[in-house]
Amino acid sequence: MNNRRDLNRGVLHRLLLWGGGLALTLGLVSAPPSTQATTTLPADHSAVVRLPGQTTEIVGSGPGPWPGDGPPVRPVGGPGDTGTIRPSDVLTHYVYLPLIAKAETCQPIPGESYGTLSVTPPPTDRPAEEHADLNLALRGYEPTSAYKGLVDYSGVGDANAPQLSGLFADRRTPTFSTVYQVYDWDWNCNCRGSLLTNWDVTLAGLAVTEGETIHVPDSGYTIGSGYEVLVLYASIERITLKYTREDNVVQGYTLHVENVCVEPNLLALYQSWNSAGRGQLPALRPGQAFGRARGGEIGVAIRDNGSFMDPRSRKDWWR
């Protein structure tokens, strides 16, 4: 009796280890905070593990269902299967294994739809993903020790400049969690240069709640038909917005937003028109949501006539 109890405990211990690994493997799947695994331990040491949407039977001929001990794991049921527990004269154990679940942030934004506008020619002179003025990932940026907060510069600002509080639904002035300097670009070699030092900060890390919607900052300008910006570049984690209809950053304001999950329908629309030659591109209205924060910080860089500016400037971007 004691030997049998020790054997059952050993099998159960190994099943817990196997189940923990399986829980980690399925961690990105949306699931309840805990999942019931039912184990039956007859003489041949078979076990049944019930997970959401599928029941898996593990059968072994040795001391446990581990690699080399018996046949491979095989599914024996699906949704609604109720035949997973078979009669046995051995005690059935119930083990609760937590699954690591991560909410998907790249979900469509309810109520949002997106249109396009014609682009003032010519189109960009190279693929957008290979253009360091459009795809900020090519330049990159480094953290700096400068002050994390709004700063006051002398001079008169543009009364129509984009106001970055509009990035957020509550129009707040966020916490500056990190500050960065963006790299310059050497157009002669088409390669990264040194860090830009005309301002102490050229990209701000702004504190956000993962999954919150991110919006188009409004300005005193329009690009026609009620639209505020064109989408010059978009990927699954960044977007570049232009406050004019040219397919470049030479004139007017350009906004780069990093670590944002671009709304799937908007991303698909951009990819379609980008592939079609960029005669039209997605256009967004003031305050329109274009994505969700991927984590606890988004990166924001703003440019005026191509030059990276200090996003902390109160008189320019946070009035």
Locate tokens 């004139």: which residue? Answer: 251
Residue that has been written with the tokens 């019931």 in this structure: 36
Mean pLDDT to the nearest integer, 153-176 = 97
pLDDT of residue 104: 62
pLDDT score at 72: 43
Residue 284 pLDDT > 90, yes or no?
yes
- Asked if 202 contacts 141 with a C-beta cutoff of 8 angstroms, the reply is yes
Q: Which residue has the tokens 């390669």?
A: 191
The type of residue at 212 is E
Question: What is the model's pLDDT at position 154?
Answer: 95
80: left (phi over 0), alpha (psi -120 to 50) or beta: left
Q: Is the pLDDT of residue 247 over 60?
A: yes
- Give the model confidence (pLDDT) of 25-60 as tens digits: 444 344 444 444 444 444 444 444 444 444 444 444
Lowest mean pLDDT among 105-109, 131-135, 205-209, 273-277: 105-109
Predicted pLDDT at 94: 53
Provide, rounded to the nearest whole percent, the portion of the chain with pLDDT above 90. Answer: 66
Distance CA 164, CA 28 (A): 33
pLDDT tier for residue 287 given thresholds of 50, 70 and 90: very high
- Does 16 or 170 have the greater pLDDT score? 170
In Å, what is the CA distance from 79 to each residue of 51, 52, 82, 97?
A: 10, 8, 9, 19
Q: What percent of the chain has pLDDT over 70?
A: 67
CA 310: distance to chain centroid? 25
pLDDT average, residue stretch 139-150: 98
Question: pLDDT value at position 318?
Answer: 98
pLDDT of residue 7: 42
What does the pLDDT average to over 278-290?
Answer: 98
Query: Which residue has better confidence, 32 or 319?
Result: 319
* For residue 258, pLDDT beyond 80: yes
What is the pTM for the complete model shown? 0.70
DSSP string, the chain: -HHHHHHHHHHHHHHHHHHHHHHHHTTTS---SEEEEEEE--TT--EEEEETTEEEEE--SSSSS-TTSSSPPEEEE-TT--------SS-EEEEEEE-----------TT---EEEEPBSSPPSS-GGG-TTT-HHHH-EEE--S-SS-B---S---TTS--GGGGBTT-----EEEEEEEEEEETTTTEEEEEP-SSS-SEEEEE--TT-EEEPPP-S---BTTB-EEEEEE-SSEEEEESSSBSSSSSSEEEEEESEEE-HHHHHHHHHHHHTTSSEEEEE-TT-EEEEESSSEEEEEEEETTEE--TTBHHHH--
Q: Would you tell me how many other CB atoms lie within 10 Å of the CB of residue 310?
A: 20
Please give the mean pLDDT across all residues of the chain: 81
The reported pLDDT for the residue numbered 75 is 43
Work out the pLDDT band at 164, boundaries 50, 70, 90.
Answer: very high
Instruction: Say if residue 251's pLDDT is above 50.
Output: yes
Task: Say yes or no to pLDDT of 103 above 60.
Answer: no
Residue 131's pLDDT band (boundaries 50, 70, 90)?
Answer: very high
* Arithmetic mean of pLDDT, 177-204: 97
Asked if residue 40 lies in contact with residue 48, where contact means CB atoms within 8 angstroms, the answer is: yes
What residues contact residue 145 under an 8 Å CB cut-off, 6+ apart? none
**The predicted structure's pLDDT at residue 105:** 63
Looking at residue 98, its pLDDT comes to 59
Phi and psi at 12, nearest 5°, equal -60, -40
Q: What is the pLDDT of residues 66-97, one digit of tens each?
A: 344 444 444 444 444 444 444 445 555 555 55
Residues 6+ apart with CB under 8 A from 72: none
CA distances from 213 to 5, 206, 209 (A): 55, 13, 9
CA distance to 10, 44, 46, 92, 129, per residue, from 17 (Å) = 11, 19, 16, 18, 44
Confidence of residue 106 (pLDDT cuts 50, 70, 90): confident
